Amino acid sequence: MTEIKGIIAAMQTAMHEDGSINEEELRRQINRQIDAGVDAVFCLGTNGEFYILSAEEKIRVMEIFVDEVKGRVPVYAGTGCISTEETVALSKKAEEIGVDVLSVITPYFAAVSQEELYQHYAAVARAVSLPIVMYNIPARTGASLAPGTVGRLAKDFQNIAGVKDSSGNFNNILQYIQETQDMDFAVLSGNDALILWTLLAGGKGGITAIANILPTVMVDIYQNYLKGDMEKAKEAQNAIAKIRECFKYGNPNSVVKCATNLIGQPVGPCRKPFGILSQEAVEGIRQVIDTYYAEYKNK
């Protein structure tokens, strides 16, 4: 199976002004990330606006990624839906298309128990042979994957190969690592600010939204960690702090897409109703970009 590791770019879905998918720009952004040295590219995650794309659009995005990447790096794809049936169907389709790794978010909106989460992931694992990275983001879904559930699934299913934690709670990451430390299992940070600390604790890397803005800086975190140069790794990790402070202006997806456009990468708008930021927010993001982006963009 594909090894789960490194800097995995959580890529945005480039769109035209009318909200339709901009295939040409999406392909260009894929190459931009690969040229920057990322270890993998990830479509249909939170930053890819999976929640507002139709099943047909999701399939088309996966086809574009697999076709454009051409095996240069692994392709991750988000295939999690609310129902187990839909998740299994989309996961099977991803395997058929040629995706390398599945990211499966917890079911959302309705309350779900740990046993229901176990059975959901177990059904997906039995249906496909691809490695599965479970996705924990309780602030968005209302569901939290307990460390014990993660450990149980990792033990019971060989292709449940990792978990991405976007809770922002570093203790949760530590518990995931502890529960799976004797297994071939990857714990990834979904919070860009915690990638280096996750690596130092025994995790394998991070799935990063900030790669849309500063891909080479995110790559530097991991590459300097591998070299044992902790000072340069910390410098790269700290370099994204001001960009992340812009999340105070609104939905992080909208902020990241706004910032990506402001640096001259025309990924377009978020699909409505999302992506509407105040003029004050846009100017605040622009000021941060003007102050910090030039310093770090070529590092």
**Catalytic-residue membership of 164:** yes
The dihedral formed by the CA atoms of 77, 122, 81 and 180, expressed in degrees to the nearest 10: -60
Rounded-to-integer distance, Cα 21 and Cα 15, Å? 4
* 121 classed as catalytic: no
Q: Is the dihedral of CA 68, 72, 73, 79 positive or negative?
A: positive
If DSSP codes are grouped into helix, strand and coil, which group holds residue 272? Answer: coil
Buried (b) or exposed (e) across 16-36, using 16+ Cβ within 10 A? eeeeebbeebbbebbebbbeb
For the chain, strand residue ranges (E) read 6-10, 40-43, 75-78, 101-105, 132-136, 160-165, 186-189, 205-208
Query: Exactly one of 164, 222, 225, 257 is catalytic; which is it?
Result: 164
Per annotation, catalytic residue among 135, 225, 293, 296: 135
Catalytic residues: 135, 164
